Amino acid sequence: MIDFTLEPDVAELRDRVRAFVADVVVPAEARDVSEHGLDEELRAELQAAAKAAGVFAPQVPVELGGLGLDTRAMSVVFEEAGYSILGPQALNCAAPDEGNMHMLGAIASPEQRDRYLAPLAAGDARSCFAMTEPAPGAGSDPSMLATTAQRVDGGWSLNGRKWFITGADGAAFAICMALAPEGATMFLVDAANPGWRVERVIDAMDRSFPGGHCEVAFDDCRVADEAVLGEVGEGFRYAQVRLAPARLTHCMRWLGLARRALDIAIDRAREREAFGAKLAELGMVQERIAQSVIDLDASRLLILRCAWALDRGEPARHESSVAKAFVGEAVGRVVDRALQICGSLGVSGDIPLSRIYNEVRPFRIYDGPTETHHWAISRRAVRERERVATA
């Protein structure tokens, strides 16, 4: 049975993160004028403030300077961090670094942890995860992986193109998935490697990720054997270590931002008068608010169910697919309703709703489009029914 009771220390941390985001992070949003995510100066300032407030790196093990939360505790803290677009960066629990930290902690050698995980956990470096490729390469279907890894004297040569690699511009290193003769394999590639280059930052509608979403190239990118992350040929299996938790933490953060959008809409509905009444007293507006509250509550419960499964050591592939498919759509509905309630003010730059809308819309595509998750959920349901029917 899932226990929804928060331990006192987690409840206290949640409240401190909520206060930190309200008092420090939200006021800093007006200074966030860089083209893609926080500039390095503001990022460092907010992270220093988070460290001073004792809310930095909640998911990172204590021995690496973090708070060592389990997944269920992370769900409430990440939601509070996500209340501001800048919050996850301030707390150093933003994608893609957060997912890479999790995977490095589970797979990397001691030497790799010292070299790559430690500075990432401290907020001294950024990283990226180079998996997605332009068509006809790997996207929703990872079996279409086209980037190759060939053995050469002293190591490997990586060749291929990747795109929509979040945070690549300015990242200290990349985790690159490439197809070796033995199968898909992950490689750690330093940004200084002459065989790796960022070709462009893609003009995407969402702009909250430092470094943007990039198209990158690996041209005879030479790496040593020590750059292999885990074992050769086990890349897809290792990707599962990252996939379900990283997919779920996306849901946690975007849930916080959707809650922010609803709060903005409710505040507006309480103040704005039309047709002789406050908007909050009109039935159609009340219906939109109620639907949004239900979407947020249902999302939170699905996140907790998946977090509970992960904390029990289960793969949680089904639970994470259901959570991602529902939360991705629900967050979009909540933000869209909020924008509609606020009318022309909502689409203006005077309040953050239009920016929030641009940020959350791609979530229905990232980490697997909703349609891909629906396909996988349906296949599992049919297989289970066949198993029961033939038992």
Of residues 4 and 277, more confidently modeled: 277
Provide CB contacts within 8 A for 29, sequence distance 6+: 84, 85, 86, 352
For the beta carbon of residue 19, count every other beta carbon within 10 angstroms.
13
Domain tally for the chain?
3
Q: How far is CA 237 from the centre of its chain?
A: 20
Task: For residues 358 and 378, state if they share a domain.
Answer: yes
> Per residue in 263-278, pLDDT tens?
999 999 999 999 999 9
Give the domain-ending residue among 72, 94, 116: 94
Mean residue pLDDT of the chain comes to: 95
The pLDDT value recorded for residue 39 is: 86
Domain finish residue from 208, 233, 258: 233
Residues 38 and 132 in one domain: no
Query: Same structural domain for residues 166 and 86?
Result: no
What's residue 36's pLDDT? Answer: 82
The string of pLDDT tens digits covering residues 150-185 is 999 999 999 999 999 999 999 999 999 999 999 999
In a domain, 240, yes or no: yes
Distance between CA atoms of residues 371 and 51, nearest Å: 40
| Token pair belonging to 5 | 């009771």
* pLDDT for residue 88 is more than 90: yes
Query: 103-117 burial string, b = 16+ CB within 10 Å, else e?
Result: bbbebbeeebbebbb
* Shared-domain flag, residues 367 and 244: yes
CATH assignment at residue 332: 1.20.140.10
Type and span of the H or E element at 213:
strand 213-224
Residue bearing tokens 């949680």? 316
CATH code at position 164: 2.40.110.10
Residue 384 lies in a domain: yes
The answer as to whether 115 is a domain residue is no
pLDDT (tens digit per residue) in 328-383: 999 999 999 999 999 999 999 999 999 999 999 999 999 889 999 999 999 999 99
Q: Is residue 117 part of a domain?
A: no
Q: Which of 233, 267, 282 is the last residue of a domain?
A: 233
Is the preceding omega at residue 96 within 30 degrees of 0, hence cis? yes
pLDDT at 359: 95
Q: Dump pLDDT digits (tens) for 5-48.
A: 899 999 999 999 999 999 999 999 998 877 887 888 999 999 99
**256, 164: one domain:** no
Count Cβ neighbours within 10 Å for each residue of 138-169 and write b for 16 or more, e otherwise: bbeebeebbbebeeeeebbbbbbbbbbbbbbb
Confidence check: pLDDT of 69 > 90? yes
Residue 108 lies in a domain: no
Q: Tell whether 136 and 228 lie within a shared domain.
A: yes
User: Domain limits at 39?
Assistant: 8-94
The pLDDT assigned to 224 comes to 98
